[in-house]
Amino acid sequence: MLITEMKAKETLASLTDGKKVFIINCEGCKEVHFPGKEAKEFQKELISTGRVTGTITTDYICNPDNMKLRLSKHMSEIEAADAVLVFSCGVGVQTISAYLEDKPVYAACDTYPLPGFQGVTPLEYQCDQCGECWLNLTGGICPITACSKSLVNGQCGGSKDGMCEVDSSMECGWERIQRRLAQIGRLDLLKCPTNVRNFATDEEVSK
């Protein structure tokens, strides 16, 4: 099980500053925790700026077939947006990001673990519920699960022919991240030297 908490309003405001945005809310795990009230307030403010091209509230965007079906009616609104802002756990954001590969897709929430039964939904992407979601800096590819060492500050340098030095059957996660950032024109994110990760956040929330 997991908990989604909305990122700080200031963080979301800076991600969406001056951009046209399409908003996706995933309420598939709402019975556990979804920051509905805060999300609604933030979205209301954003909509009042006239920069929101469309919104959708649905469930289980982590299921690619379901997600494609739900989004299919909104593709023109998504195309009109500069970015897509997703209120969901890390799996949902990764699923959308892989589908809308030419569009910046931002995580509006952090994902925290909650003890208990996880459920059996077949997932294409993994989220380790690490507490401070890093997807906005890594082009929507999770460095915790896509990199064997869960590195958050770049490649270890050991990859061979694009494959991971720890597990030669998997592509190096950081090479995927670099490719994706190049695709969405955000290689500049790799230059930011001040992104010190807060590994304590998940413990704080589960107290």
Interface residues with ligand SF4 (CB under 6 A) are 90, 111, 127-130, 133-135, 142, 144-145, 147-149, 151, 155-156, 158-159, 164-166, 172-174
Torsion of CA 142, 11, 106, 67, to 10 degrees: 100
Q: Which is nearer to ligand SF4, 46 or 144 (CB)?
A: 144
Q: How far is C-alpha 148 from the chain's CA centre?
A: 19
Q: Which is nearer to ligand SF4, 54 or 92 (CB)?
A: 92
Q: 170: helix, coil or strand?
A: coil
Q: 180: helix, coil or strand?
A: helix
Distance CA 170, CA 160 (A): 11
- 111 forms beta bridges with 4
Q: Which is nearer to ligand SF4, 54 or 139 (CB)?
A: 139
HSE, CB side, 13 Å, CA atoms: give it for residue 142.
25
For strand 2-6 and strand 52-58, is the pairing parallel, antiparallel, or unpaired? unpaired
Q: Which is nearer to ligand SF4, 165 or 203 (CB)?
A: 165
Judge contact between 73 and 93, C-beta under 8 A: no
- Least distance CB 64 / ligand SF4 (angstroms): 16
- Least distance CB 110 / ligand SF4 (angstroms): 6
Q: Which residue is nearest to ligand SF4 (CB)?
A: 90
- Least distance CB 44 / ligand SF4 (angstroms): 25
- Least distance CB 114 / ligand SF4 (angstroms): 13
Amino acid symbol at 33: H
Q: Which is nearer to ligand SF4, 52 or 105 (CB)?
A: 105
- Least distance CB 51 / ligand SF4 (angstroms): 25
Q: How far is CA 126 from CA 57, 179, 195, in A?
A: 22, 19, 22
Judge contact between 75 and 102, C-beta under 8 A: no
- Least distance CB 76 / ligand SF4 (angstroms): 28
Q: Which is nearer to ligand SF4, 54 or 131 (CB)?
A: 131
